[in-house]
Structure 1
Amino acid sequence: MHAGIEAILAEQGVITVAAHPRLESSLRRLTREQLLDNPLPGVFTARSESSTLSWLRPVTAWSAPDGVLNGRSAASLWLPDLAGPVAFVAHPTLRSRRGVVVSRHLVPPEFVRATAGLRLASPAYAAVELAAFDDGRALCDALRLRLADEPAITAALSAFVGSPGNARRRRAVAAAAYNPWSYAELRLHRILLESGITGWVANRKLIVDGVVLFPDVRFRDRLLMLEFDGRASHGSPERFLADRERWNLLEAAGYHVLRLGWEHLDRPEYVASVVRRAFLAAPPHR
């Protein structure tokens, strides 16, 4: 292979005719010889196994300098379940084509990040954008992974004023202010708030007998906690045992711990009722 082309590919992962016009004939010859791939106009890559990065890098190069990976594509770098064969990119003039969905807008520069040969929307921006469709699921993951905080999320929301789906975005961002680390917790927080149950914090650091904990929900003035148990939360004997030891630690410290499952979230009246009764029975916080 051409030494210069090989060096550029090794460093950048892609090579474009726009950046290296003198190499165009060599790039096209190597493509005909099936030594390179030409996935998008003017963009060439080494032939390799497909992966998220091997597709998103050419899309970034094709849409440069104004294109920014957004939505599912931006979030897929920290939520692998969102990765797929279609790339999503924001650009003011390009048109969608096979394998690439273009949304006609510019991502404000303060929400653009560059990493691993990609230009992509920040986690806060991508999660807020997706909130119009996923009811805040990506927001919860961004908070849990410490990729975004409430001020960054609120700032990102301001970039979507007048955009379709913004009522749903605002609702999700309002719920994110209470720091849910999962979609189940977000639903639990909504039940509490809509039932008028206040005086609690979520996922705040707590040290009990030298052990650092982050309870799902903890009441400020009562020794009462709410914990959500998902079906996958006890996936191994070790996890099951650790969960029981955590529960015992809290009970020994005087906390009342309510355990709620996914099905309970479909019964908000039950959740509100049992929380109110437990609040009255729990001892005051010392």
Structure 2
Amino acid sequence: MDELDDLMLLTNVMNLNNGVLRPRHHRGSRTTFDRLVRSGALVRVLPGTYVDATLVTSRRTRFAAALANSPGAVLWGTDAVAALTGSLDERPFRPRERVQLAHPRGHVSTDAISWVRRRVPVEHRVTVDGLRCPSARYLAVESAARDAGALLERFLRSGLVEPSELPEMVPLFAGSAGQDARRRVVRTSVDNPWSGGERLLHALLQRHRVTGWVANAELEIGGCRYFPDVLLEEAGLVVEFDGYEVHSKPEVFESDRRRQNALTLAGYHVLRYTWKQLNDEPMVMISQIRAFLARRSATDSAPT
């Protein structure tokens, strides 16, 4: 094989592996490999692991290099979240930044890699664009021991996790720290809450036996898709929770008004509640919802 053939081979391998090369896998092309290193076209980022110099700040490439250097490992933490959500390229890989990896045996963390000891079952390992990760449902339920369900809510919003998948995940973490918290989060996630406020709203409705509702069910109105926080379809009622941090943003404020107008024009009644009302005046909320349901029931049963 001449040098041109070697160069084409190595280039194709890099293209297939997110810009990563390991010389131990290409001993027959060592002369060409060494020439690329001397020219600066390849950069060593880990022992025995090199990347295309033009991709040295690419998070995808640096994650791929760490995984290539660590068979049996998977991405972990925020790095795994970035891979699963397709947000890898939002910012460059910084000097002295460490890749987060998990491995069954664990390793001593270095300047390049931060290690966590985790045994992720084979059936809950996925590959996203060449990067090994835990499945979204595995990572979200594992994280619930520390984040009160924040990651799980994010994955529910984006459709990466389905509520029906969650209960079967809890036994996988039996005996590990935070298991009681995981059980609580999963138990309150089967109704599909997309935020902590929605989680509290669902619990309030359940506690006061308000039934017949679904959370974040898709409605198509005028060619647009809407996902009401709580929908009581039979009563034609939508209950919305407005968290200040999100709903005070100008773009969300505008979107909320368009959404409410569309729902109203489609025949739905909309009741909106804030975080303060949810926490300070829960019985006012329940009374108003019950009053609406009672009025609708009386109207429906009135003789015509």
Matched, 1:86 2:98: yes
TM-score when scaled to structure 1? 0.82
TM-score normalised to structure 2 length: 0.77
The answer as to 2:179 corresponding to 1:166 is yes
Cα deviation, residue 29, structure 1? 6.3
Indicate the residue corresponding to 1:72 in structure 2: 78
Percent identical across equivalent pairs?
Answer: 31
Give the whole-Å Cα distance in 2 for the aligned partners of 1:259 and 1:117.
Answer: 44
Which residue of 2 is the match for residue 225 of structure 1?
A: 238
Q: Secondary structure at the match of 2:126?
A: strand
Q: Which has the higher helix share?
A: 2
- Give secondary structure in 2 for the equivalent of 1:181: coil
Query: Aligned AA for 2:177?
Result: P
| CA apart distance, 1:53 | 0.8
Match of 2:166 in 1: 153
Q: 1:1-286 alignment to 2 at 5 Å?
A: 3=7, 4-12=9-17, 13-23=19-29, 27=33, 30-31=36-37, 33-47=39-53, 48-64=55-71, 66-77=72-83, 78=85, 80=87, 85-95=97-107, 96-193=109-206, 195-199=207-211, 200-206=213-219, 212-219=225-232, 222-231=235-244, 232-233=246-247, 235-236=249-250, 240=253, 243-251=256-264, 255-265=268-278, 267=279, 269-282=280-293, 283-284=295-296
Query: Greater CA deviation, 134-143 or 99-108?
Result: 99-108
Aligned with 1:120: secondary structure?
strand
How much has 1:216 moved relative to structure 2?
A: 0.3
| Structure having the higher Rg | 2
CA distance in 2, matches of 1:156, 1:31: 46
Q: Secondary structure at the match of 1:186?
A: helix
Contact 1:9/1:15 (8 A) holds in 2? yes
Counterpart Cα distance in 1 of 2:37 and 2:75: 26
Give, in whole Å, the separation in 2 of the partners of 1:142 and 1:157: 17
Aligned partner letter, 2:290: F
Secondary structure of 2:240's aligned partner: strand
Q: 1:43 to 1:152 in 2, by over 3 A?
A: farther
Q: Find the residue that maps to 2:171 and give its secondary structure.
A: helix
- Residue 26 of structure 1 deviates from its aligned partner by 5.9
- The alignment covers a number of residue pairs equal to 281
Q: Give CA-to-partner distance per residue, 1:191-221, whole Å, 9 cap, x none.
A: 444x434313211234568865321012366
Q: Structure 1 residues 152 and 39, CA, compared in 2 at 3 Å: closer, same or farther?
A: farther
The answer for unaligned runs of 5 or more in structure 2 is none
Runs of 5+ unmatched residues, structure 1: none
Distance apart, 1:57 and its partner CA: 0.8
